[in-house]
Amino acid sequence: MKPGALEDLSERRHAMVATQIAARGVRSPKVLDAMRAVPREAFVPEHMRKLAYQDSPLPIGSGQTISQPHVVALMIEALDLKGGENVLEVGGGSGYAAAVLGQIAGTVCSIERIEKLAQSAKETLAALGYNNVEMRYGDGTRGCPDKAPFDAIVVAAGTPEVPYPLKEQLKVGGRLVIPVGRSDHFQHLVRLTRVSEDQYDEEDLAPVRFVPLIAETYH
């Protein structure tokens, strides 16, 4: 994508942050600044770019979607990042949320289970200069043991229960934000805070709708 094409939509991006994110309760200056900085149009198919700043999910191929901007902002705000953290994202998709995380965190490891999406996201992130974001292809329910422990973990897919490896890879004091529910397309956004080696506090944040998290090993 030509730099000029991205620049043309910056006004829409700032308006989206003001009207769809800040106006709906997201207050973190770091999250709002990150959302203003990341060109969402770079992470959607070319024919969808004019729709990039609608507050809605958009198809990105392989039966997957890029989450609506408000939900991305809500989930990242719930991680309570101060800057410089080591973060894990499960369900990388096209790489958009990973880029937003990369504006705040020190390092981001993002895992995507569909190889085609993971490769495309990796190329987009590299082209935009996100050197602190690593996109991996694999089973996100296993986490990223070689990069653990994490200050924060965010999961962009719904699951009936929190995968045990993710809980184990969270630092004491760290936060894990994940959609939890029995329905494939309706969940509650939950935040777990690890308060000790074997204890987690749980908060229910909001109703959400995500594609299901699928545990499958890829080689």
Stated pTM of the model: 0.92
Residue of 10, 56, 62, 67 marked catalytic: 67
Strand (E) or helix (H) holding 32: helix 29-37
Q: What is the pLDDT along the chain (219 residues), one digit of tens a residue?
A: 433 345 478 999 999 999 999 999 999 999 999 999 999 999 999 999 999 999 899 999 998 999 999 999 999 999 999 999 999 999 999 999 999 999 999 999 999 999 999 999 999 999 999 999 999 999 999 999 999 999 999 999 899 999 999 999 999 999 999 999 987 778 999 999 999 999 999 999 999 988 888 765 333
Domain layout of the chain by residue ranges: 55-208
| Known active-site residue 67 | yes
User: Which residues does residue 59 pair with via DSSP β-bridges, in sequence order?
Assistant: 65
Instruction: Supply the DSSP string of 103-157, one letter for each residue.
Output: HHSSEEEEEESSHHHHHHHHHHHHHTT-TTEEEEES-GGG--GGG-SEEEEEE-S
Which CATH number is associated with domain 55-208? 3.40.50.150
